Structure 1
Amino acid sequence: MQLVNPILMLQKATEQKKAICALNAHTCESIQAIVWAAQRLGAPVMVAASQSTLQYMGVAEFAAIAKAVAKKADVPVALHLDHCTKFPMIVECIKEGFTSVMIDGSHLPYEENLALAQKVVEVAHAAGVAVESELGRVGGAEDDLNVDEREATFTVPEEAADYVRRSGVDSLAVAIGTAHGVYKGTPKLDLERLSAIRAAVSVPLVLHGASGVPDDAVRAAVARGIAKVNIATELKIPMAGAVREVLLGDENETDPRRYMGHAREVVSAVAEKKILLCGADQITF
C-alpha cells in the first residue's frame, strides 16, 4: 500500500474514541519493526521521524525506506515529520513524500507560532500533506528537543480554539502534563483540561511524551479525545537493550544482522503493545 495522508485515520480515531500510534523510528530496522507490528494487528499506524533522525539518515533515504516497507503492507501507513522547527526541512520532507508534518512553534510567542503554522499549512495543503502543530509546551528532553520544566506550559482551551480556527492545522498537540524522554516520577495528566480542549476544538488531538505514561492514564486520555499518541523513548530503550544483550552474550559476535535483527524483533513487540493499548487495531473505516 502507498503511504497515506493520516487525516482520515485520525478523524476515525476521534469518532471511535481510539488513537493512532505515531512511533518514532531511527533506523531501517525500526521502520520495519513498526510497520510489521501494525500489519500483524491489521491496524493503521504512523511512522515518525525527528529532525535529528533525518539529519542522521537523510530525508530522502528515510522516506525511501518507509515507502518501500509500507508498499508491502496491507494497512494504512502514514509518514510523519515530528517536532520540526525548521521550515526548509518541512518543505524537503513534503518533496520527498512525507504525508504528514508537524511544525513546532510552541517556543514562539502566540502570534508568531500561529503565523508559522499558517505558512506551513499553505504549503503542505497544496501538496495534499497533513499538518500538526503544538500549542503549549511539552517539557523534557529527547533527541535534539530540550524544554526546561520551568518553560513547559499547559494548553489553554480558549487559545486552542482560536489557534485551530485561524491556522487551519489538521491536528493539535496539547500540553496536559506529559514530558519527552524518561520521567523522574509518575506523570499526572490534567484530564479535565483535556476534556475542555476537546470540547473547544474540532480537529484531532495529539499526546506527545507518552513514553512512560501509565497504561491507564493513556487509556483515559484516549477516552477523553486524544486521537494520536506519540511514542519514542519506549522504543529506543528496548532497541539498545536488545543490541546490548546480543553483544554481551557473545563477545565474538560481529554480525549486525544478528544484533540488529534481535533489536527489530524486540522493538516490533513493543510497538504491537502500544498499538493495542491505543485501540488502533479496533478502528473501522
Structure 2
Amino acid sequence: MSLVSTGELVAEARDAGHGVAAFNVITLEHAEAVALGAERAGLPAILQISENAVRFHGGRLAPIAAASAAVARASTARLSLHLDHVTDVDLLRASHAEGFSSVMFDASKLTYDENVKTTADAVRWGHERGIWVEAELGRVGGKEGEAPLDAHAPGVRTDPAEAAAYVAGTGVDALAVAVGSSHAMTERTAALDHELIGSLAAAVPVPLVLHGSSGVPDEEIRRAIAAGMVKINVGTALNTAFTGEVRGYLAAHTTGVDPRKYLAPAREAMAGTVTGFLGLLK
C-alpha cells in the first residue's frame, strides 16, 4: 500500500471523533513493529522520526526515512511518515525530498513572539510544498537534554486564549499542547487536565496533539480523545517493550551473539504495544 498523508489520517480521526496514534521510529525494527501492530489492529498509524533519532543515525535523515517509507509501502495498513520535534531549519527543509507529508516544528523553547515568527516561517515553507505542519505551545517536559519539569507547575500548561492567537498567527495545521503529560515517562501515572483539553479544543480550529502519551493511563487517553485530543504520540512505551525483551534474552543467554535472537522478540513486543495503544483510540 502506498504512503498516505498525516493530514488525511488526522482529519479522518477528528471527523469521526476518534484519535490517531503516532509512534516514534528509531530503528528498522520500530518501523516494522508499528506496521505489524497496525495491521493486527486494522487501523492506520503514523510513523514518526524525531530530530533526536536523526542525530542517533549520524545526522543522516535519508536512510531511516527511506527504510520507514519502504516498510509503510509494503504494509497492508494505512501509514504516514512524520518528522517530529524539528528545531533545525536545515532538517525541516530536508523533509520534503525524503517523502515526509508532515513535520512537527518545535520552537517551544523560544519566547512567545519568537515562536510565532519562526513557526509562521516554517508553516509558509511547508504549505508551499504541501506539507502539514504541527507546532507546540506550552511546555511538555521530559525531552532529552532538558531538566526535569513538573507538568503541573504554574505557567507550564497551554493557555486557551494564547493558543487561539498562536494558531491564528502561525497558520499551523495542528497544535501540541501541555495538559499534564510529559515525555519519556516509563510509568503510566500522568493525570491530564480534561477540562483544559475541552477548553483548548473549543478555542482553536485545528486538531490537538498529545505528546508524552506513554505515561498516560488507558482511561486518561480515552477521556482526552473524548474531550478533543486527536493525535496521540507514543515513543517511550515502545522502547520499554523493546528493551525489556532484549534485557531478558541476554540475561538468560549470556553467551548468545546473534542479534536476531533478541531483536525478533523485541520487535514482537513493540508490535503488541502498538496494537494495545491503537485499541484505545475508538
**What's 1:51 paired with?**
51
- Percent sequence identity is 38
Kindly tell me: are residues 59 and 242 of structure 1, through their superposed partners in 2, closer, same or farther at Cα, counting changes over 3 Å? Answer: same
TM-score by length of 2: 0.93
**What's 1:86 paired with?**
88
Measured in 1, the distance between the counterparts of 2:187 and 2:218 equals 17
Larger mean CA deviation between 160-169 and 176-185 belongs to: 176-185
Q: Which ranges in structure 1 are unaligned for 5 or more consecutive residues?
A: 280-285
Q: Which ranges in structure 2 are unaligned for 5 or more consecutive residues?
A: none
Kindly tell me: are residues 50 and 147 of structure 1, through their superposed partners in 2, closer, same or farther at Cα, counting changes over 3 Å? Answer: farther
1:182 to partner: Cα distance? 2.0
**What's 2:9 paired with?**
9
> 1:45-80, CA deviations, whole angstroms, 9 ceiling, x for partnerless residues?
101112121112231001110111111123321111
| Structure 2 residue 37 is matched with structure 1 residue 37 | yes
**What's 2:214 paired with?**
211
Measured in 1, the distance between the counterparts of 2:147 and 2:226 equals 29
Contact 2:209 2:232 in 1 (8 A): yes
SS in 2 for 1:240: helix
> RCO greater where, 1 or 2, for CA within 8 Å and sep 6 or more?
1
Measured in 1, the distance between the counterparts of 2:41 and 2:174 equals 25
**What's 2:267 paired with?**
264
Aligned residue type for 1:8? E
**Which of 157, 166, 171 is matched with 1:163 structurally?**
166
1:252 to partner: Cα distance? 1.9
**Which of 240, 250, 254 is matched with 1:251 structurally?**
254
SS in 1 for 2:213: coil
Contact 2:9 2:44 in 1 (8 A): yes
**What's 1:148 paired with?**
149
Contact 2:181 2:215 in 1 (8 A): no
**What's 2:202 paired with?**
199
**What's 1:282 paired with?**
none
Kindly tell me: are residues 52 and 152 of structure 1, through their superposed partners in 2, closer, same or farther at Cα, counting changes over 3 Å? Answer: farther
SS in 1 for 2:222: helix
TM-score by length of 1: 0.92
Measured in 1, the distance between the counterparts of 2:130 and 2:10 equals 15
Measured in 1, the distance between the counterparts of 2:238 and 2:30 equals 8
Cα root mean square deviation, aligned: 1.7
Measured in 2, the distance between the counterparts of 1:103 and 1:40 equals 31
- Equivalences for 1:57-76 in 2 at 5 Å? 57=57, 58-76=60-78
Report the number of matched residues. 278
Measured in 2, the distance between the counterparts of 1:145 and 1:79 equals 26
Contact 1:29 1:264 in 2 (8 A): yes
